[in-house]
Amino acid sequence: MCIEEAKFTDKKLPHLRLGEPLLETTAPYCEFVSIQYATLSASEAESLRVEGIHTRRIGPHKVLNVKPHPAGDTRTLHPNSREYAGEYEGKDVLVTQWDFKMKLARRPRRRMPDFRARLDDFKATIPRLESFNEPDVTIPFAFIHWQDLVANEEIFHERISYAQYLKPTDSNLLQIADRLEGENISLPHLARSLSNGLKCLHEKGLAHGKIDNGSVWTEDFVNYKLSDGHVKKSISELAEVFGAIMRGENGPHPSAVQLDCKAHQKQDLIDLGILLGSFTLSPPRGAMGHFLKACEDASDAIELAEHCQFTRDPNSCEEVDAGDADMQDQDADMQDQDADMQDQDADMRPRFLLVPDGSDSGDGQAPEIEEQDVDLFPEMVDQHGDVQLNLGSPSDSNFLVCPVCEDRICQDMSRCATCNNWIHEGCAKVVGGVRFCCGDECR
């Protein structure tokens, strides 16, 4: 017979019967349970003693050195799932197992067509997921396997298991949330890594579906990778449909309603923006603010890559520094824009002509006319920026002069619409209700 299930227990294992402890050991214990057979054959028991109780067979796949994974306490996917660590073909893996088991009792006609239809859809995507291999930005799958453990109309038991190449020393963001402050994380680098991972999925016509702290892994705070690509969403929907059937509901849970791929890809970007926004204490600005805005506007990660600078190589330390420099450049650009606006405001300030006291310099030449800004003489500008006429006596060194008649302006003054010079009302040329001084620069 084949061993169908292994459960961790703290009991001693001296017997070889269904539901009872199996072997005696001082290591973490496993209890092997068979639904179809009550006892183990002698050859199988001997095989167990040779291989050890830390071996688990999943269809044609054999996982060695089975043990709890350090992330098991923080990464709870669903009540129907459990995870454990092991070795597969000489590499460390994290195995996620989903069980859908229900006793139909005296209702043999209950076929659960909705669940089986969803299950068939998931089975069709397994070859695409197993062939998806982008180890730089996503966690590759070692295998994905489904088992129909009980094939009768009284007991329903389906199991889906998938293994990903994750080491026990790898950590997800849930485990290291308290260490993600200060220099331990580069937000632009994290954004670049995750957007690259999503881009690879979306290019294959897939969607992640469940981006959260538990599906982002790192081993060195430099490389961040996405796990559970597509399967987390698909199996979670299966679990919702299965739960609705167990509760006797007529239809599936609203969260299990199947959406098209584009809708899921758009949801990926929204989830990515929410995840990155959770690491900022204040509304982000600069390059990161533009990135989060792009997450809202883009339809998928492919379009996001066309408008965003964070989709470069996540493995280059130089690119990380460049990403930080980009944010500084964005801030510098904003400061330049503010300076340009101030210059534009300065151009709109009232300007006037200054001549020195006395209209004759003694040589018969006209006095030199100098153009100045009003703000050089703050006593002439009120709190609203308007010029206040306080021309003083003729002995004052500076006073307003009309550029048309070159006489001192005492009253009835206007401003030229082109050069902003102050002129006598009578000297202004009115065209269409707009006044001009008719100076050389206004003609």
Which CATH number do you get for residue 312?
1.10.510
Residue 420 lies in a domain: yes
Q: Which of 119, 134, 123, 96 is nearest to 301 (CA)?
A: 134
Residues 405 and 294 in one domain: no
pLDDT of 225-282, one tens digit each? 999 888 888 888 888 888 877 777 665 555 555 556 788 888 889 999 888 888 776 7
Is 71 among the domain residues?
Answer: no
pLDDT in tens, 4-53: 444 444 333 344 343 333 333 333 333 333 333 334 455 554 454 444 45
Say if 404 falls within a structural domain. yes
Q: How far apart are CA 140 and CA 150, in angstroms?
A: 30
322 and 405 co-located in one domain: no
Could you tell me the two tokens for 168?
Answer: 């026990």
117-165: pLDDT as tens digits: 888 888 888 888 888 888 888 899 999 998 887 756 677 788 999 999 9
Same domain, 275 and 174: yes
Does residue 314 fall inside a structural domain?
yes
pLDDT reported for residue 164: 93
Determine the residue type at 3: I
Residues 121 and 221 in one domain: yes
Determine the number of helices (DSSP H) and then strands (DSSP E) in the chain.
8, 17
Q: Are residues 321 and 420 in the same domain?
A: no
For residues 249 and 114, membership in a common domain is answered with yes
Q: How many domains does the chain have?
A: 2
Closest CA to 4 of 49, 52, 38: 38
Answer yes or no: do 235 and 383 share one domain: no
Q: What is the dihedral of CA 96, 100, 101, 107, to 10 degrees?
A: -170
Asked whether residue 323 falls in the same domain as residue 285, the answer is yes
Lowest mean pLDDT among 64-68, 108-112, 120-124: 108-112
What is the percent of the chain where pLDDT is above 70?
55
Same domain, 281 and 398: no
Structural domain for 273, as ranges: 104-150+169-332
- Separation CA 324–CA 65 (nearest Å): 43
